[in-house]
Amino acid sequence: MEFERSLVGEIREAIEVGPPLLQIVVGPRQVGKTTVALTLAKNLGWPHVFEAADFSPPPGPEWIETQWLRARKLPTRPAMLVLDEVQKVSGWSETVKRLWDEEKRRPDPISVVLLGSSSLHLHRGMTESLAGRFLLHRCMHWCFPECATAFGWDLDRWIYFGGYPGAAPFVRKEEIWARYISDSLIETAISRDVLQLHTVTKPALLRSLFGLAATHPSQILSWNKMLGQLLDAGNTTTLAHYTDLLETAFLLSGLPLFSAGTPRKRAGSPKFILWNNALVSAFCGFRFTDARNDGAWWGRLVENAVGAYLLNQLPRESYTVSYWRDGVNEVDFVIARGRKVWGIEVKSGRPGKTGGLAAFRARYPEATVLIIGSGGIPLEEFFARPATDWF
């Protein structure tokens, strides 16, 4: 069926109602950013120029100037320019700033939509050169209601297969699906959004780190333990840096330990969360039925799905996501927004002990504690609402 993400309407309203601004859309690969932009142009009925900078070697700023000129030459107004993977262009933000400032002085300015899949490069360019000139939109991994509507999936299927729309046709042929995720999504993101944009002296180590995280979803691993499992690992600083690089491509995060109201980066062992459960299931070797019947593994998938949902849904400018542990007591996730704190325990089977929540509440009496899953907010109910509704 034809499915339209709500982001299309959000950007359209920003263009039609708001002041003239650059519309910048950031998010992972293969979640529909291009489709959103082209659907927007179709719904508006505007002529448009669409080009992508996703080739090697990356183009220079003259590429942006050329596409901008093409859009200005479109015969009717209003018109739109859409540039994909714009962060690949050297000096992109300075060029866009100059052209946009010129555009606003023209009697018939075009609308400009910029797309990108590397959060670090986009944010750096936006904050350094484009302050006050853009509106940021997040196009993240597909949530459960979207997959239920678009593909007819139930909750278990979404928890296992994640939410990449391009992979949905292959779910009945799981070996092909896993190859598609590994080759077309994971390797492309690592090669183009990490290795091509950053200096990585040990690319094999970076890939091995991703594989280790993908086979240990929602688990806390000490940096020293990882040094023992990864060949040529170097030191913990290198591993921490590579984890950060993988996060810029929306692949995985190493959640920090929560302490005294502030997540402490590097102070404790990271808790690995993959941003889409497809990244786990393509690596794990379990078929869907086997994964569902293995209680321990399914619990890991459910917990990772909750963590991924929090990372995808909660804007980093306002929220932090971490975990808490003190001796044998542990809380799966801690959400902080200003002075407000929530401790979260995820239960995928029968209701069990919640000693971690009690200890967390004793340490932080002003915190709100929640159980998600068995004995608490049902998983389907939790995933059905935007995370900002809960926090």
Q: pLDDT tens digit string along 336-364?
A: 999 999 999 999 876 666 789 999 999 99
Residue 266: band (very low, low, confident or very high) from pLDDT cuts 50, 70, 90: low
Of residues 8, 1, 66, the one with CA closest to residue 38: 8
Of residues 122, 97, 131, the one with CA closest to residue 24: 122
**Which DSSP symbol is given to 220?**
B
268 burial level (CB within 10 Å; 0-12, 13-18, 19+): buried
Dihedral pair phi/psi, residue 139, rounded to 5°: -115, 95
Domains and CATH numbers, the chain: 7-138 (3.40.50.300), 144-390 (no CATH)
Cβ 307 vs Cβ 273: under 8 Å: yes
Secondary structure element (H or E) that encloses residue 209, with its range: helix 203-214
Q: What is the mean pLDDT of residues 301-309?
A: 98
| pLDDT for 113 | 97
| pLDDT for 355 | 83
Residue 302: band (very low, low, confident or very high) from pLDDT cuts 50, 70, 90: very high
57-71, 89-103, 249-263: which has the minimum mean pLDDT? 249-263
Residue 55: band (very low, low, confident or very high) from pLDDT cuts 50, 70, 90: confident
Average pLDDT value for the chain: 93
Q: What is the mean pLDDT of residues 24-47?
A: 95
166 burial level (CB within 10 Å; 0-12, 13-18, 19+): middle
Could you give the percent of the chain with pLDDT greater than 90? 84
CA-to-CA distance for 203 and 190, rounded, in angstroms?
9
Cβ 277 vs Cβ 305: under 8 Å: yes
Identify the residue whose tokens are 């990356």. 58
Secondary structure element (H or E) that encloses residue 83, with its range: strand 80-84
- Beta-bridged to residue 80, according to DSSP, are 48, 111
Of residues 197, 185, 161, 139, the one with CA closest to residue 287: 161
- The yes-or-no verdict on residue 248 having pLDDT over 60 is yes
Cβ 273 vs Cβ 255: under 8 Å: yes
Cβ 308 vs Cβ 314: under 8 Å: no
Structure tokens at 166: 């391009």
Q: What is the mean pLDDT of residues 286-302?
A: 96
Residue 18: band (very low, low, confident or very high) from pLDDT cuts 50, 70, 90: confident
Amino acid at 82: V
| pLDDT for 72 | 97
- The yes-or-no verdict on residue 281 having pLDDT over 80 is yes
pLDDT digits 0-9 by tens, 157-202: 999 999 899 999 999 999 999 999 999 999 999 999 999 888 999 9
